[in-house]
């Protein structure tokens, strides 16, 4: 394989798979590469820069019409379509399955059924990593921006998804804010809000260091 072809494949992988953002995960690439380490690092840095540029465009869109997006009439379905889907696409996830066409080999699943107690619930998003598509790494629960994301009910709901699937964290977001929730312990609604690990405001996405934490 020619070097230029290898570069194209690696760069595309960086853009479409979250796993490639971790340099160590490059050993599991589905093709053999002989690229120098410095070039591999450079390509990953370039992928990050591209994502950072894209997220700033997205947050500018939100900021320019913030009053509209914070209105109670702006629904969860709207914010998922307008911002949350795009947010995770910017992070490198194939949310719309534009690349991962095989329904059994998709890293992102929307409205994934999850058995909780005797009832079947549906997490808004589940995320896994190739090639272990059936092993969920974390869930994302979406809400509309008009609601207070720090609600104990929202935290309890989100933590239950992670706890029942044995994932250590979950994400609660309305795009305006993004909360990382600890799911390592059996959730209790009375102290659910104490499960917060980290919180970001959408303005934080414009800070390269803070965006890197999410990335």
DSSP 140-186: EEE--TTS-TT-HHHHHHHHHHHHHHT-SEEEEE-SSEEEEEE-SS-
Strand extents, DSSP E, 29-118:
108-116
What are the strands, taking DSSP E only, across the chain? 108-116, 119-129, 132-142, 169-173, 177-182, 196-201
Q: What is the pLDDT averaged over residues 64-82?
A: 97
Question: What does the pLDDT read at residue 47?
Answer: 85
Question: What pLDDT score does 42 carry?
Answer: 74
- pLDDT greater than 80 at residue 20: no
Average pLDDT over every residue of 197-214 = 95
Q: Which domain holds residue 206?
A: 3-214
In this predicted model, what pLDDT tens digit does every residue of 126-174 receive, in sequence order? 999 989 999 999 999 999 999 999 999 999 999 999 999 999 999 999 9
Determine if the peptide bond prior to 69 is cis (ω within 30°): no
The 10s digit of each residue's pLDDT in 75-120 is 999 999 999 999 999 999 999 999 999 999 999 999 865 555 555 5
Predicted confidence at residue 10, as pLDDT, reads 52
Question: What is the mean pLDDT of the segment spanning 29-53?
Answer: 70
- Residue 202 near residue 79, CB atoms below 8 Å: no
**Confidence band for 11, pLDDT divided at 50, 70 and 90:** low
Residue 61's CATH number: 3.90.1570
> What pLDDT is stored for residue 37 in this prediction?
66
Higher pLDDT, 186 or 119: 186
Average pLDDT over residues 179-202: 96
The region of weakest confidence among 36-45, 139-148, 176-185, 195-204 is 36-45
Name the domain count of the chain. Answer: 1
CA pair distance 172, 140, nearest whole angstrom: 6
Tell me what the mean pLDDT of segment 31-46 comes to. Answer: 65
Residue 29's pLDDT is what?
Answer: 46
Q: Residue 173's Cα: distance from chain center in Å? A: 10
Reported as a pLDDT band with limits 50, 70 and 90, residue 26 is very low
């Amino acid at each position: 394989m020619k070097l230029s072809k290898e570069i194209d494949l690696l760069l595309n992988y960086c853009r479409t798979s979250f796993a490639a953002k971790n340099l160590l995960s490059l050993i599991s690439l589905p093709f053999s590469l002989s690229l120098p380490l410095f070039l591999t690092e450079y390509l990953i840095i370039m992928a990050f820069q591209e994502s950072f540029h894209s997220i700033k465009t997205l947050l500018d869109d939100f900021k320019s019409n913030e009053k509209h997006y914070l209105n109670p009439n702006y629904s969860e379905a709207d914010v998922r379509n307008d911002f949350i889907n795009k947010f995770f696409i910017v992070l490198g996830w194939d949310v719309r399955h534009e690349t991962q066409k095989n329904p059994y080999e998709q890293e992102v699943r929307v409205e994934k059924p999850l058995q909780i107690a005797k009832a079947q619930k549906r997490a808004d998003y589940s995320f896994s990593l190739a090639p272990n598509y059936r092993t969920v790494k974390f869930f994302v629960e979406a809400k509309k921006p008009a609601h207070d994301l720090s609600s104990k009910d929202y935290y309890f709901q989100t933590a239950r998804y992670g706890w029942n699937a044995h994932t250590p964290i979950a994400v609660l977001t309305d795009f305006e804010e993004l909360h990382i929730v600890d799911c390592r312990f059996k959730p209790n609604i009375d102290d659910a809000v104490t499960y917060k690990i980290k919180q970001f405001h959408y303005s934080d996405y414009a800070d390269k260091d803070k965006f890197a934490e999410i990335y």
